[in-house]
Structures are given as structure tokens and as C-alpha cells.
Chains A and B, each alone.
Chain A
Amino acid sequence: MKTLPALLNLGLALWVAGCASAPPPRFATPPPREPHPKEAALLATLQSPDASLKDKADACRELARVGSTRAVPVLTALLTDTQLGHMALYALEPLPGEEANQALRQALSQAKGRALVGVITSLGVRRDADAVPLLQPFLSASDPDIRQAAALALGNIGTLPAVGALQSALVRADAHGRASLVEGLLRAAERRSSDGDRRTALNIYEQLRARADLPPPLLAAAWRGAILVRGSREVAVLQQAIESPELSVVHAGLRAAMEMPDPAVTRALADVLPRLQPERQLLVLQTLAVRRDAQALPVLLRATNSLDRAVQLTAFRALGELGDPRAAGPLTSWIMDSDPERRELARAALASLPGTGVDRLILGMLDRSDPATQLAGLDLVARRRLAAALPRLLRLATAEEPAVRQAALKQVGELGAVHHWNALLDLIRKLSSPEDLATARDALVNLAERIGAGGPQTEAVLTTLHGASPAQATVLYHLLAQLGGTKPLQVTAAAARTGSPEQQMAAFQALLQWRTPDVADELLWFAEQAGDPRRRQDALRRYLQWASDPELPEDRRLAMCRQAHRIVQDTAGQKQLLAALSTIGQGEVIPLVRPLLDSPETREEACAAVVAVAERLRKRSENRALPEPVLQALDAVARMTSNAELAKRAQALRNPGT
């Protein structure tokens, strides 16, 4: 086996020698027929002793786009220039025509060090086949950068002589030089293959594959190439890769398999699967899934019965990814499995399968009489967002089994359309348990958001309120709070003031949850006049939250704060008021805050509010001076606060620029 690489190399060399070189590819773009109007001036700049380095670099950049063969001699002269050598290449490398190739080839004998690396690289980019004999000696240069550049350039050129040169050098190469030579050969193999020369490509890959001294990334790349060039008619190498003890080779094989859609590859993977250890089977199962070839279905179904748990679970996920609806039937036998993970994965897989047949299968589960199957079906409906289930969901929403009822109600909210609104409201009238009503409430809120509920839906809620039990009314008031609107607000406020005790409670809670600020006046009324002190407190708290809402105009919020200031009494309320005031950037806030600076209970919050207001004012007024009352308040803050950082901010506001 030790001689195999050498034999392969010899074989390839002989075979290469027996083949005529294919014409090398050239730049598709011909050189410009007429010189670009700018060219003469650009060349003059390059030749001018007075032009700066920057000017010359810019000229090269322009010539890269517009230069013609006339530019070649001027640029050639710069190739070995330590400062402009790269820019000369910058201009020459994309310049079409043989003249640039000749210039670069000539420069190979003059350039040194980095300049030489650049010239070699550019010849590779230009795929100059005539440069191959000149590049070959650089494969044994003492400078590793030059050796590497030559190897990569020859790989880019990719002609048969270039391949031969790389092959020969690889025989002699040490570990340091090997990587770039192999990279060159891999590039050349790809070039040969894309040019239709699969035989040379395969030969390169086989030679590399036979080497025991390659680092795993290079070896894996050779395996991948060998698999792809062989194609689906020769899958034995693919199978070998998957059975390789070297994991990078396994990965290479599997990645190659993902690039090969042919069913023959599916069969090859299926054939090798039973011979693999479980951990390797996982990778193959996933690859089968990713390839999406329906022929993998029986393999994956068999794997769901594997005695190895990881394999089994992976097979479920893979079935979902494969997406073959024929898996639906077999998967149903697992969806009520006692093992929660197995059950979960089987359900996820089943839910992701396409097709109306799968829909029908799931709908059929809802028609069964046993709650367990119904619940499994409801879970699948939810995962699949199966709107066709809605008639059944409405029916199951009154089922005997509470879990079934609530799961069905939830899905009506998730999947329902506008015309399901009234049906769901009707259901409210039939429900009595707190759990059912809570589920129905959430479903209605969800549905309202999804359908963009408006006037008709609100009217329907108001209608349903008539004759609703207190528990049902609680749900409906909550719903009105979410929907908003003038009439609902009036109805709810009236109920909160004058309804039965249960109605008052439910409606007041709805006012607290109201989503629009038009509720503020009602909240203020309760804050002032409610009989229950707790209710007054809650109303004031919510009122002040609205007064802090940055989406409301500041003037309105200031007015609200003034109202609150009138009635607020306890320390907690004062602190809430200060929090609201601190969000307003107007000097008129200060008189409301000042009295609270004097109270030890509210002093720090009041100080913070003054600073916050002043900072807002400063931000808005740019460099204008702050109003005198604000400045005086800041002085007070600097004196009174125990918060050093706050005092510092107050002083900075008081004396900007110091």
C-alpha cells in the first residue's frame, strides 16, 4: 500500500503525457479596440517623475478598468517597484489580451519576494496556460509564500501540464508544502471536471485519497470530489466514506450525497444504513431527510422501530423533514405513545406533512368519541393551524370532557375568522365554569386581534351582555375593554357606577384594563367619587399611568396631572404623580413638584422629577436658558437630595459648561 500513491502518480503522469493539452480558457472580454480617452493621461501620470505615489496608484486603479495593451509596457516597468508593484498588478490582472500575459511571464524572472508572489498569483487568476512551465520551478522555491502562490496558480490554470507539475511536486513535498499543492490539485480537478475531463479529475482525487499523510480537511475534500465525479452510477466510494472511521470523511460523503439528487444515492445510503453504528445512522437518516427523495420513506419508517432510542427519535424528525404524506398513517400509531418525547416528535412530524389527505386524517381524529384521540387531534390542528377544523372545533367546544372543550375553544380563537365571532359569543352563554370562561375570554381576545374586530363585533358583545350571568358578563366587559369605543365605554362605566355589585366589580375591572385613553375621565370620576377607597386608589393609579403615556400629547398629560394633583392624598399617590410629571418636559410642571420637595417621604422622587423635567427642557431648548422656576428648583435639588449623582446632574443643568 505504501507504493500506491507513487503508482497512481506515475499513472497519472503517463496519462497526462499522452494527452494533448486542451486550449486554455481566456478572458471572455476582448481587449478594447480603441484606447479609452483617459488612458493617455493616466499613462503620462505613471511616467511622470513629478506625480506622487498617490497619483500613480490612482492611475493604476483607473487603468484596471480602462487600460488597453498600450498600458502594458508602462505597467510592466512598475511590476518590480516596491511601492507600486501591487498597483501595477492591479491594473494588469484584469486587462484582456495576451500582451498582459507576456508581461507577467517576463516579470517572473525579475520580480522577487512579495512582488513575485503577486505576479504568480495574477498569472493564475488569468489562467495563463503558457505560464505553466515557468511556474513549475517555483513549486520548489525556498520561500513558502512563493511555493504556495505557484501551487495555487497552477491549480487555477488547471491544464494537464499544470496538473502534472503539481503531481510531481507533491511526491517531493514536505508537510508544510503539501497543503497548498493539494489545494492546487483540488482546484485543477474541479477545473478538469467542469471542462468535461472527468477522467483526470477522478485520477487526481484518487491519488489524493490514497495518501495517508494528508490532514483531514484535505483528505475529506478529495473524498468529496471523488464521490461527486463518480456520480450516482458509482456509489461504492460514497458508501466507503460513510463507513470511514474518519469523521471528516463521513461528513464529506454526506455533504456530497446532499449534492446528488439521484435515487441511486438514496438506495446507496439505505443499503449502508444497517451496517452502521447507531450514532452514524443518525447522520445518514438526516441526510436522507434533507435530500427529500421520496424513496427514503421506507428506510425512515423502518428506523422509527429501531431499538436505539436516538435513532428512533431522529427518524421521526426526519420523516417530518422528508415531507412525504404517506408517512402520516404510520405516524398516527405513535402520536399517543406513552413516551412523551416519542409522542411529541411523532406529532411534530405528522403536523408538518403536506397534503389534504393528512388534513382529513387529523379531522377524522376529532370525529372520534374518545377524548384522548380528540385531544391528540386538537393538538395536531393547533400545530397545523388547520382552519378546516373550525366546524368541529365549535362542536367540541361544548364536549363533556373539560380538556377537550378548552382545547377546542382555544383553537377557535387561534384559527377563527370574522364569521366565527358570533358563534364564539354564543358559546359564552353556554359556559359556566371559571376555566371554560377564562379560556373563552382569551380565545375572543385572540380572535379580536386576528380579525381586526370593529363595530359589528362590539355590537354583538353588547347584545350578548343582556341576560348574561355575572361570570359571563365579566368576560364580556373584559372584551369591551379590549375593543374600546364610545358606546362600550358608556355602557361599561354605567355598569361600574350603578350596576349590581357583581356588575360593578366586573365593569370597574374592565375600565382599569381599557386599552384607549378615552377612559381617563371615567377613571378620574372613580378616583374622586367611588365609595370604596380601594377602588379610588386603583382608579387614580391607572389614571396616572395614562398621564405617563408618551403617546398622549404633553398638554393633555399635564392637565391630567393637575387633576390628579388636586385629589392625590397619600404618599403612594404622590409618588405616582411625580413619576407621571417627570415624563413631561414643560416648566409648568415645577409648581406641581415643588411642594413635594419639602416632604421627606417624597423628596427624592421629587428631586428626580425636577431633574428629569429640566433635562427634557434642556434637550428641547438646545442652548437657551432654562426658566427661572426650573433653575430655582434645580438649586433646591442640589441642596436637598441625598443622591450625589442626582445632585451632580442638577448642578450641571444649573450651570451648563462648567
Chain B
Amino acid sequence: MREPVSSTSRATAAAVRASGISRRLFLKRVATVGAVLGCPAIIPASALGRNGAVAPSERIVMGAIGIGSRGMFVLRWMLPEKDVQFVAVCDAKRSAREAVKRTIDQHYGNQDCRMYRDIREFLAERTDIDAVLIATGDRWHALASIWAMRAGKDVYVEKPSSMTIAEGRAVLETARRYGRIYQTGTQRLSEANFVFCIEAARQGLLGRVHTVYAHIAPWDAAEMRHDWLPAQPEPPPEEVDWDAWLGPCPWRPYNANYVAGGWRGHYDFHTSCIGEWGAHTFAQAQAGIGMEHTSPTHYHYVPNETGDGMVAEFANGVRLILSRGDKWWHGSCGMRFEGTEGWASCADGYSKPEVSSPKLLGELRRVVSDYMARTGRPMSHVRDFFDCVKSRRLPVANAAVMHHSMTTVHACNICMWLKRDLVFDPVKEEFNDPEANRLRSRAMRAPWTI
């Protein structure tokens, strides 16, 4: 909901424009001593007089971009946050725009959510928006994030954060350049069971960790589709803007199945079974072994279609092993840390992690509560984002963390596509293999470029 503007003077409006911050935030800044935009998460809420009810002037104004089923889940997760207000939606697909508008309007009991088809128009026009939720198809994640951050928005974007190593690097550089808060939706980094396993590994409760198993999606393959679905008549752009839907990807004829979610598995649009869950699990794995700011150096090809059993070695000798089945866990997005003194694993749906000894599990509450106290992070991924929007601290799945874990995803894919072992320099972000280096980026289709 946009704040009413009529009550402010023209001078104030001009000052707001000049300041580049939203009107609510501006008013709060100039009018209230003791309360401030960007109040850090470590500031107790009661010190700001919130007590549960958040004044409009303190709310984070949000826009939603490319909201499908997953995006709707995240949107519904975000909407109840009292210091958040969604005011607009942008989507190349009319039915999606309208569905999101209905959801947002229903939540706020008004009709104020504005709809946009063109992301460039949306970003240029809505200078009042502080942050965006991006849940497009994978192909748009990096580009939309970069454009949004250049427009001064903070970004919560669904995984995977990039389609290529070059895209990931560009996201990271943009986030740093503009000082934006950026969080990828790898929400297990903010869930207690996963945090316990990560922290148990980090803190040495498992001894020296030598092996990490990371779940990859048990469907599809590492080798991806290059076929085109049968051409169908392109709908009017107002219904589905096919050119915008494709965005930076190579052109292909329209088929409704792509737009309905059938883009998965296609090379141009997806990051394979490895990226589908590896976008989560590699980040979890790398956090647990303190390797969230680098990537493995050696990638060992496995002669199968999926990458199951593939080993990626970090410079410190820790092995990341891709696992497709449920040998090491029961549930989705599993991970398992193995150390010299024990192991810990978990996946979705666990009431508590599985560990090598009950004593280890006895540390669950302490480990998680210590983590929360030490980092100030809640066990809610979206809340972590909103807290960081206010405090300007880096969220748990920030651009650097996600770039490095997604680099691992991309390198694993490239290894599988080339069907040979690869050596990677994580600092230079270069392979020892010329063909592999040429797969680090893809030329983006104008005008959808960075």
C-alpha cells in the first residue's frame, strides 16, 4: 500500500526524491528523534516503541517480481511480517500478476497493489520500494537482482542465484558496489536442524570434518535438454510477454508448457539436477566446513547421467560428495557431515537431526541458541533478511556466500558436461581447461543484459 502523499508538502516530496529514500522513511528520519530507518537488528524493538505494531513509516516497502508457486509460498511467508508491506507486483504473465495482486490485496484489505509487466518500468517508476522479492524462473534471478540493486533495492531472490559463474560474480559485485542487502532463498541456512549440523561441524563437535555429503535432486540429469517444444502461437504480450519471459536466454518459439513450469530440465533455463538442490545443499555444506567464501579446487567426473557420487575437493582436503539417493538421509535437501569423532545429518521433515551419538544431540538446543545469540540471526530466513535490511548487516545467504556455493554447482555441471576431471582456481575463477572456461558465461540476449 502506498502511503498517502497528499498530506505532505511539495517541498517534502522534493526532499524525499532528492534523498532517494522512501517517503515513509524520510518522514521518520526527520520527524522522530530516537527512531531511525536502518535501526539495527540489535536494537530492541521496544526501544523504538513498536511493541508489535509497526508504524507505516517503519515498514519495509516491498515489490514482488515473477511470483509463481514457490514465490507465492515465500510471499505468504513474508506478508504476516508486521514491518513489511507489499505494494506492487511485476510479472511477464498476466494471470500471475493478477493472482499475486489478489493475494496481496486480500491480505491488506484494499486494492492498492499495482501491477507491472515490464521490470524496467517497474524499477524506474517505483522509487518508493525498498526491497523486492524475486521468484522468477532461474534464468531471470541474477539479471533481476542486478537491475533491482542498481535501482537501489534490497533483494530477496529465490535460488539458484545465478545460471553461470559470470552471473554470480556480477551479482556479488553489484551488491557490493551499491551496498545492497541481498539474500538468496536457501532457507535451510536459517532452520534449526540444519543450523545444528552446520554448527556442529564448524565447532569441531564432529572432530575434523573430512567428508560432506550433499543432496542433489533425484530427478532429471546433469546432462540437460536442448530440444525445443513444439511451436505454438505466441499469446499477446499483455497475456504472456514471451520476449520478456525468455529474458537473457536464447530465443526459441513459444510453448505454453515452458511458462507453466516446464522450463525445468532445459539447458537454457535450468541448472540441472545438481543445481536444483545443490543450490541449497552446497551452501549448507560449505557453511559447515567454513568454506563459504571459496569453492572446491578439484572436480572428479563420474560416468553416470546425474553426478551421483561425484567428488569435489576443497583446498583443505575436505571432500564434497554429491548424493542423489537417500542413503545418508531421508527427505529432501539432505546433508551429512562426517568427522573424525562423529557425524551429523539431516534433511527436510526431520524432527531432529540424526547424529552419531545421543550426547551430540543433547547439544542441539545449546548449539542453536548459541548460534542465534552469537550471530543475532533468527531461525527464519525471511526475518533474517528483513532484520538485515534495517541493520545493513549481511544476511546469512548473502551474495558472496551464494556466489561461491553456486560456483561449485556450476563447476560440477561443467565437469559433468565435459565428462572429464577439472581443476579450478577459486580466486581467479578459472579452470585448467579451455573449454570449461568458455562455459563460465553465456552471452545474454539484448536488451536483457548486465
Contacts and interface: CB of A to CB of B under 8 A. Distances in A.
Tell me, yes or no, whether A binds B. yes
Contacts of B228: 54
B33 A278 contact: yes
Contacts of A65: 435, 438-439
A216 B21 contact: yes
Given A277-B33, A323-B374, A385-B369, 6 more contacts: A54-B228, A219-B20, A259-B176, A279-B36, A310-B43, A383-B373
Interface stretch (A127-135, A344-352, A506-514): A344-352
A94 interface: yes
Nearest to B449: A121
Contact of B226 (A61, A114, A145, A256): A61
A220 B25 contact: no
Nearest to B180: A217
A252 B177 CA distance: 9
Main secondary structure of the interface of B (DSSP, over half): loop
Contacts of A95: 438
25 contacts: A28-B430, A28-B437, A29-B434, A30-B434, A57-B252, A66-B435, A90-B250, A93-B443, A94-B441, A96-B434, A114-B446, A117-B447, A118-B449, A145-B446, A217-B178, A220-B179, A247-B19, A247-B21, A251-B392, A279-B35, A308-B34, A310-B43, A314-B43, A314-B44, A450-B358
Contacts of B430: 28-29
A256 B450 CA distance: 24
B428 to A, nearest CB: 8
A313 B36 CA distance: 15
A259 to B, nearest CB: 8
A282 B40 contact: yes
Nearest to B358: A452
Nearest to A83: B251
Contacts of A219: 20
Interface string A73-101: 00000000001001101101111100000
Contact of A118 (B42, B44, B173, B443): B443
B20 A248 contact: yes
A275 B228 CA distance: 64
B33 to A, nearest CB: 7
A43 to B, nearest CB: 17
Contacts of B244: none
B446 A121 contact: yes
Contacts of B358: 450-452
Given A61-B226, A220-B179, A255 B19 contact: no
A279 B33 contact: yes
B376 A321 contact: yes
Contacts of B150: 179, 183, 217
A347 B40 CA distance: 19
A286 B42 contact: yes
Contact of A317 (B19, B29, B43): B43
Q: Most chain-A CB neighbours within 10 Å: which of B42, B48, B228, B391? A: B42
Contacts of A314: 40, 42-44, 47
Nearest first, the 4 closest Cβ-Cβ pairs linking A and B are A216-B20, A217-B152, A279-B36, A452-B358
Contacts of B152: 215-217, 248
Nearest to A66: B435
Nearest to B375: A321
A149 B152 CA distance: 20
Nearest to B376: A321
B34 A283 contact: no
A248 B19 contact: yes
Contacts of A450: 358-359, 361-362
Interface string B41-69: 01110111000000000000000000000
B37 interface: yes
Interface of A: 27-30, 32, 54, 57-58, 61, 64-66, 83, 86-87, 89-90, 92-96, 114-115, 117-118, 121-122, 125, 145, 149, 152, 179, 183, 186-187, 190, 215-217, 219-221, 224-225, 246-248, 250-252, 254-256, 258-259, 277-280, 282-283, 285-286, 289-290, 308-310, 313-314, 317-318, 320-321, 323, 341, 345, 348, 351-352, 383, 385, 450-452
B208 interface: no
Contacts of A278: 33-34
A138 B277 CA distance: 43
A313 B250 contact: no
Contacts of B38: 247, 250-251, 283
Contacts of A32: 434
Q: Most chain-A CB neighbours within 10 Å: which of B38, B370, B374, B430? A: B38
A346 to B, nearest CB: 12
B151 interface: yes
B264 interface: no
Contacts of A149: 446-447, 449
A286 B393 contact: yes
A241 to B, nearest CB: 11
A646 B34 CA distance: 60
A221 B177 contact: yes
B39 interface: yes
B443 A86 contact: yes
A421 to B, nearest CB: 13
B299 to A, nearest CB: 17
A451 B443 CA distance: 58
Contacts of A145: 446-447
B99 interface: no
B442 A90 contact: yes
Contacts of B19: 216, 246-248
A285 B39 CA distance: 11
Nearest to B374: A352
Q: Most chain-A CB neighbours within 10 Å: which of B37, B151, B370, B447? A: B447
A318 B44 CA distance: 11
Nearest to A414: B365
Contacts of B21: 216, 247-248
B293 interface: no
Interface string B311-335: 0000000000000000000000000
B439 A317 contact: no
A123 to B, nearest CB: 11
B444 interface: yes
Contacts of B376: 317, 321
Interface in B421-448: 428, 430, 434-435, 437-447
Contacts of B359: 450-452
A65 B392 CA distance: 41
A284 to B, nearest CB: 10
Contacts of A258: 393-394
Q: Most chain-A CB neighbours within 10 Å: which of B21, B373, B394, B439? A: B373
B366 interface: yes
A441 B267 CA distance: 59
A250 B39 CA distance: 12
A341 B178 contact: no
Nearest to A153: B449
Contacts of A66: 435
B392 A254 contact: yes
B443 A190 contact: no
A152 to B, nearest CB: 8
A466 to B, nearest CB: 29
B39 to A, nearest CB: 6
Given A122-B443, A341-B46, A320 B373 contact: yes
